[in-house]
């Protein structure tokens, strides 16, 4: 794993966005895995800026989102479909036909999930998967004890996640859907690169467990220790529980310039 600790969130967002921009420039037909939640918003804003000011071209890019709440229509302002349009897709030149977000209203969920997996394969697999992390160490919506080999499927959210996400539902936990569709951990591990963003003290424990703890389904993100290309972008607060924090900074500061953009 590569740990990139920035003094503030803004710097992390810029560095992470540069990495994605480089991927798109190298291969205009790149396949990106997208995430929701507050963590990637700043990076999306930087990508929008690059599109508007530096002509970063998304016209041939394909995207697959990690997850969606079951039972929320696309028009619901807390659906991840709505989130992605508002925070990114409405502001760049992506072709709507190239955007894939799990449909939380699908009639036959198992068939739909299998089809979603097949579409990722048909597209050639994901080049860079963006990830946030839950305070309980979940990635996508793969809650603790999710199979580390899991594929896209329905999951039940934990009480902790319902509580964490109630802030988006007027603080009312009972309004947060109990179920979701999420790419599995096996699906995420097949991405050629994983790029995890985490900010603030609330993520410090999950980040320390992910990077320095044992690999366990109790902390789903810890499986990224097994990924050949996992990059973790964090601020000082999210890094605060890391035992080897100074070492990670020393490693990054010694990287040759040509490797630095990430």
SS3 191: coil
Stretch in the footprint of ligand GLP (CB under 6 A) among 26-34, 127-135, 208-216, 234-242: 127-135
- Please say whether the beta carbons of 152 and 181 come within 8 A: yes
If one asks whether residue 210 binds ligand GLP (CB under 6 A), the answer comes out as no
Query: In angstroms, what is the minimal distance from the CB of 119 to ligand GLP?
Result: 19
If one asks whether residue 104 binds ligand GLP (CB under 6 A), the answer comes out as no
Query: What six digits make up the tokens of 122?
Result: 């048909």
Stretch in the footprint of ligand GLP (CB under 6 A) among 51-59, 96-104, 130-138, 218-226: 130-138
Q: Among 72, 35, 67, 262, which residue's Cα sits nearest to residue 184?
A: 67
- Of 57 and 106, nearer to ligand GLP (C-beta) is 106
143 is catalytic: yes
Buried b (16+ CB within 10 A) or exposed e, 195-218: bbbbbbeebbbbbbbbbbbeeebe
Query: In angstroms, what is the minimal distance from the CB of 255 to ligand GLP?
Result: 27
Q: Indicate which residue of 67, 103, 117, 127 is catalytic.
A: 67
- Of 56 and 109, nearer to ligand GLP (C-beta) is 109
Q: Indicate which residue of 46, 103, 117, 143 is catalytic.
A: 143
Q: Indicate which residue of 51, 68, 103, 138 is catalytic.
A: 138
Distance CA 24, CA 125 (A): 15
If one asks whether residue 248 binds ligand GLP (CB under 6 A), the answer comes out as no
List the one residue from 1, 9, 33, 37 that touches ligand GLP (CB under 6 A): 37
Sheet of 128-131, strands arranged across: 2-6, 230-235, 193-198, 128-131, 31-34, 62-65, 99-100
If one asks whether residue 67 binds ligand GLP (CB under 6 A), the answer comes out as yes
List the one residue from 13, 30, 39, 98 that touches ligand GLP (CB under 6 A): 39
Quickly count: other Cβ atoms within 10 Å of residue 225's Cβ: 14
Q: Could you tell me the sign of the dihedral formed by the alpha carbons of 23, 28, 32, 38, in that order? A: positive
Query: What six digits make up the tokens of 38?
Result: 């507050």
Site string for ligand GLP, 176-195 (x = CB under 6 A): --------------------
138 is catalytic: yes
- Please say whether the beta carbons of 27 and 127 come within 8 A: yes
172 is catalytic: no
Q: Which residues bind ligand GLP (CB under 6 A)?
A: 35-39, 66-67, 132-134, 140-141, 161, 165
Active site residues: 67, 136, 138, 143
């Amino acid at each position: 794993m590569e740990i990139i600790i920035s003094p503030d969130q803004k710097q992390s967002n810029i560095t992470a966005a540069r990495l994605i921009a480089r991927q798109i420039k190298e291969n205009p037909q790149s396949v990106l895995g997208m995430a929701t939640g507050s963590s990637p918003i700043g990076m999306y804003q930087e990508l929008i800026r690059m599109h508007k000011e530096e002509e970063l071209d998304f016209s041939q890019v394909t995207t697959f989102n990690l997850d969606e709440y079951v039972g929320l229509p696309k028009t619901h302002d807390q659906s991840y479909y709505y989130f992605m349009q508002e925070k990114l897709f409405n502001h760049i030149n992506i072709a709507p036909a190239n955007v894939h977000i799990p449909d939380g209203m699908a009639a036959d969920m198992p068939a739909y999930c299998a089809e979603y997996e097949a579409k990722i394969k048909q597209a050639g697999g994901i080049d860079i998967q963006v990830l946030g992390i839950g305070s309980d160490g979940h990635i996508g919506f793969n809650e603790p004890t999710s199979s580390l080999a899991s594929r896209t499927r329905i999951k039940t959210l934990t009480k902790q996640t319902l509580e964490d996400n109630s802030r988006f539902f007027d603080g009312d936990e009972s309004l947060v859907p109990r179920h979701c569709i999420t790419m599995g951990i096996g699906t995420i591990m097949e991405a050629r690169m994983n790029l995890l963003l985490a900010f603030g003290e609330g993520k410090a424990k999950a980040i320390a467990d992910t990077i320095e703890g044992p690999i366990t389904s109790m902390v789903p993100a810890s499986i990224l220790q097994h990924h050949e290309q996992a990059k973790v972008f964090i601020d000082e607060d999210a890094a605060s529980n890391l035992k080897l924090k100074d070492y990670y900074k020393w490693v990054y500061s010694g990287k040759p310039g040509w490797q630095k953009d990430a």
